[in-house]
Structure formats: C-alpha cells, structure tokens
Chain A
Amino acid sequence: QKEVEQDPGPLSVPEGAIVSLNCTYSNSAFQYFMWYRQYSRKGPELLMYTYSSGNKEDGRFTAQVDKSSKYISLFIRDSQPSDSATYLCAMKAGTASKLTFGTGTRLQVTL
C-alpha cells in the first residue's frame, strides 16, 4: 500500500465549477500537508500549506485536512482555464524534512 493515494484523473470540469481534489494517507506520522500545482513541462509550485485539521482558505483555494480520517482535500472555486494543471498533494512527518508526494491529479478546466 502506498503511503499517499491520489486519483490520477484526468478530471475535466467547465469554467466556473467548484473542483474537489483529494488524497488519502496511511502514515499517522504525517503532520504537515501541502498542495503543489504543476503545469505541463514545469516544476511543481507550492499552492497551500497546512498542519492542522480543519480548513485553510487562500483566495479561490481552500485546503481541508481531516487527520482522524487521514484525508485531505483541495477545493478550487470559480475554476478558470488557467487552473488546468496537475495538482500534487505532499506530506511530511513532524521533524522530518522529506516530502512524500501523491501521484498527482490532472485537471482540465474547459471554456
């Protein structure tokens, strides 16, 4: 069993839709959770970071963590074609510096 599971998609939604991206994990030591966005032929870039259960909002993006269920989500409101990319969840244990990434979900926002 992989430490981090993420549906690879692709996920296709119309412009303006609310997008929900999810990851599950098995390692209870993971305490820090991140979402990275990766455009085609580019390196990943950090979108959101959180370490507590609950919601964290940043503009059109909301990161949600449920540590009891080992489940994290990223919601994108009013999705735009420029949001079309691969979204990677990443996690790390408390004192560790190593990030463990999910496989990424490819999102396509259509006009």
Chain B
Amino acid sequence: EAGVAQSPRYKIIEKRQSVAFWCNPISGHATLYWYQQILGQGPKLLIQFQNNGVVDDSQLPKDRFSAERLKGVDSTLKIQPAKLEDSAVYLCASSEITYEQYFGPGTRLTVT
C-alpha cells in the first residue's frame, strides 16, 4: 500500500513570500489532516478534512494560511505571506480510523 505522499520535501523562502505544499493521501482514506511541527514540539493540527469538507480549522491562522481538498483526494496548503515563525515541518496525514493516522514525510519549510 502506497503511503502518504508530500511535496516538496524542502523549501526555503524569504519572509513575505508565498509557498504551497501538496499532499496525496492513502487511497480510500476519507480524512486528511495538515499538521505543523515546530522543532522540538509535537505536531499541532492546522486543519482536518472529511472528504472535501472542513471538520476543524480552529488552529489555522486564516489571515495567512489556506487549504483546500479538491474532489476529496489531494490537498494543498498555502501560506501567504510567510513569516519567520512559520519555519516548521508541515505534515500531512490521512486516516480511516481517527487514532490511526498515517503521516507523510513532511515538508521542511525555512523562512529567512
């Protein structure tokens, strides 16, 4: 079974620039999550989709972050404009069962 795919793996941008991350979940997984993991911290949920609808986006900084999941499959997360504090690993996960989330390798973002 193919795992969760994410791209790019690494991205370096300057502050105030925009960036987008892509995620392809495991086939058949209806639920998709985007997490932010700052160095030395656990993942923090940014947004959760059930099919192509948003279930929880309470911790998504909506003034600069946006996410969409077209056709209930792939998803993109965008940051515009980026701030220094956005430097983190952005993890995508998918699941059939809530507690068993399968994570992708993440995108390591550095904002300079």
- Please report the C-alpha to C-alpha distance between residue A29 and residue B42 in the assembled complex, in whole angstroms: 20
Q: Is the CB of B42 within 8 A of A103?
A: yes
Residues of A within 8 A of B (CB): 4, 6, 8, 32, 34, 41-46, 49, 88, 90, 92, 97-99, 101-104
Q: Is the CB of A97 within 8 A of B100?
A: no
With A34-B99, A92-B99, A97-B31 given, is the CB distance from A102 to B42 under 8 Å?
Answer: yes
- Please report the C-alpha to C-alpha distance between residue A71 and residue B12 in the assembled complex, in whole angstroms: 39
Closest to B31 in A: A97
Top 3 nearest A-B pairs by Cβ distance?
A43-B103, A101-B42, A97-B98
B72 within 8 A of A: no
B22 to chain A, nearest CB (A): 15
- Please report the C-alpha to C-alpha distance between residue A43 and residue B106 in the assembled complex, in whole angstroms: 6
Chain B positions within 8 Å of A34 at CB level:
99
B101 within 8 A of A: yes
- Please report the C-alpha to C-alpha distance between residue A103 and residue B40 in the assembled complex, in whole angstroms: 7
Count of A-B residue pairs with CB < 8 Å: 57
Q: How many of chain B's residues touch chain A, expressed as a range? A: 20 to 34
Q: Is the CB of B56 within 8 A of A98?
A: yes
A70 to chain B, nearest CB (A): 17
Q: Is the CB of B42 within 8 A of A88?
A: yes
B95 to chain A, nearest CB (A): 8
Per-residue contact bits, chain B 64-107, to A (CB 8 Å; 1 contact, 0 not): 00000000000000000000000000010100001111111110
Q: Which of B41, B93, B102, B106 contacts A103 (CB 8 A)?
A: B41
Q: Is the CB of B40 within 8 A of A99?
A: no
B31 to chain A, nearest CB (A): 7
Chain B positions within 8 Å of A45 at CB level:
102-103
Q: Is the CB of B43 within 8 A of A44?
A: yes
Q: Is the CB of A99 within 8 A of B99?
A: yes
